[in-house]
Structure 1
Amino acid sequence: MAGAMSKALDIDAIRAEFPILSREVNGYPLVYLDNAASAQKPNAVIDAIANQSRTAYANVHRGIHTLSNEATEAYEAAREAAREYLNAPAHENIVFTKGSTEGINLVASALAGEIQPGDEIVLSIMEHHSNIIPWHFLRERHGAVLRWVGLTEDGSLDMAEYAAAIGPKTKFVAMTHMSNVLGTVTDMAEIVRLAHEVGAQVLADGSQAAVHVPVDVQALGVDWYVMTGHKLYGPTGIGVLYGTAEALDRARPYQGGGEMIEIVTRERVTYNTAPHKFEAGTPPILEAIGLGAALNWIRNHPFEAVHDHEMILYSHAVEGLRGINGLRIHGEAPGKGAVLTFSLEGAHPHDIAQILDRYGVAIRAGHHCAQPLMEHLGVPSTARASFAIYNTLAEVDAFIEALAKARKMLV
């Protein structure tokens, strides 16, 4: 039984909260193993968005009427949920964005005025493109130098190489907290400590980590932290940028428009304080409320139990895949998350994913927006199965069985 997976979690009851999991694909029960790309949504999130739309929708802030006040309360309650989730000191530290990508771009834009030719930005080769391209903008437009940190054989971040990359020219460090390909969890507190020793700011990309790793931004010491709603069982189009009070205060506004101003005249403009300084225009009201519902839903489930459940699934999948000839697993760092990326000799990942879909199994195939990492691994693309709270051992078995069938067809 799925519910027997964990003494602290009733997986059958959890699955019942996700209506999409009851559907079939190509005549087979849906086995959704593409959670690192985007997670499914529980009724708590769906209902929060629908109920707000039905009963109390209006634009937020500055409204005098009842609906605006109610919408503002729900919107700001979502900000408080994000503050609690990240253990930020105050709600002013929480900026709503469209997602992690916009959060990183916001920080890069805010930093642009401080970058001088030759200033160095340190990245790892396992970054998602969203945490690479904004820094290339600073390289192209402001003369920044990108320094790259490699990996050890098991897919861990090479901390000796990282320490060597940090120096007097280091202006900024942008690192994933958990790789979307390898599942590697980085030692963010140590990354921050070494960067701060040379006066550099640190941004942590928590797109994957925020749903699999307990995040305490104060304990980590990061200057910036980003996470995205749709991987946290929440809606698309909403994310969170955490910034320290000092970092937010020194950062220039990202976009101009309503909400982010204090006074506008023909001759001058003065800006609002954080977080509103960075939230120009009508915000994603319903999406933020949905994210708040998702974060509260996650917090209702013991983290250790969820982590244990996901890692049982991952370990079971690894053992099943080891029996398939020609299969290579990428990334086996200690303490990694429940992301299983693999290659099958003689088979293109897209073909693998297409055949698995015939059996109702959804996985991801491609370079996963991590082309520098693919180059390091020596492959153009890979296949990836990623696990979530609602997955079961029976689904893992279905995945292994479908993959064995795919191998027979392709190899």
Structure 2
Amino acid sequence: MRPTSGTGHDGRADRYSFGRLLRRVGPLLALALAGCASAPSGMLVPVAPAPGTDRVDMLAATTRAPSNEAGVLYSGERGDGVSFSNIVVSIPRQREVGTIQLPRSVPGNPATDFVVTSASPVAKSDLASWFRMTGGRKRVFVFVHGFNTPFDRAVFRFAQLTHDADAKAAPVLFSWPSRGHLLDYSRDFDNASYSRSDLAYLLKTAANAPSVGEIVILAHSMGSWPAVEAVRQLALERGGVPKKISNLILASPDLDVGVFRRQVEDMGPQRPQITLFVSQNDRALQLSRFISRGATRLGGIDLTRDEYQQQLAGLSGITVLDLSAINAGDRINHDLYAASPQAVRLIGDRLLQGQVITDSDASAPLAAADALGSAATLLVTAPIRVFDAASPR
């Protein structure tokens, strides 16, 4: 007798579900493969800065192994502990908000491309000194990238987000060893888990720095796992989350909903405001849900449904921003937090200022698009639904 699935004696339901999944995530596979083919290697080769460009000066902390390949800096394999670098990214001014203009060949042209103008190592013993030399900025903005993200893409995405959000904060990238391949999901998850204690160390160092007044964390996709785990670890070690960590923003979090609830409960009452960016049209999370055997990911929940309301019931201080009605970036809809001018504006004007988003923020017209760096001058309205996870619907 053939083994049967849980949904049918002949496995037809499983085959139907898999076929439906392929139709929904097919664009994800095609775009991912096209992106890998079009991006040159060695994009982090430093070039001379050019006039008429903007710059983002960031600290990069990584658990990746160094790469011997020119312009790559770090590979997708695990390193021995955590390494630090000071990286300066040059950004062209003629582009639309939410976009990253990668060079077609190396070295890139700073007039048209995202390029690196300098990259220098920072000793671990000098980390506290770096936080003291942040140009008087009391707020630190920590970004943790997601699955399928090489180091260079993490650097450029964070630079784009920091620039477009007009972040009045010292930018700190935490990069774990994602291999940058769509089929390495399980290995990426293991590497993200491997890195959580190093992220906790980074957050602890920032929180202990007298020059730092506030820490805002934004984690994307699978990066939400080490980010939430690191904050939870600090809470368990110190009897509460450090007060300087004011907001934990999870964009398209690739987390099990029940696990997330337990993590938040473990943080105790002294925890930061938590903001979730979700979308039911996120194809990457649909694929993750299939890999997880049907477990809905936190970034794909619909809080108009009772089952998700019940799973988050009683958790105060959690705001959910539903971006399902937004079209921005590519058809995968996994980077809406950084590709949508509406979402970027909310991050820069409200979340990075330590404020809580309400219904009035999402329904009111936003500032003119050219204030965000776009050539457009029309007012835009954000089709974003806002939920307080603890409030009954």
- Shorter-chain TM-score above 0.5: no
| Structure possessing the higher relative contact order (Cα contacts under 8 Å, 6 or more residues apart) | 1
Greater strand proportion:
2
TM-score range for the pair, normalised by the shorter chain length: under 0.3
TM-score computed with the length of structure 2 as normaliser: 0.24
Q: Higher helix proportion, which one?
A: 1
> How high is the TM-score relative to the length of structure 1?
0.24
Greater C-alpha Rg: 1
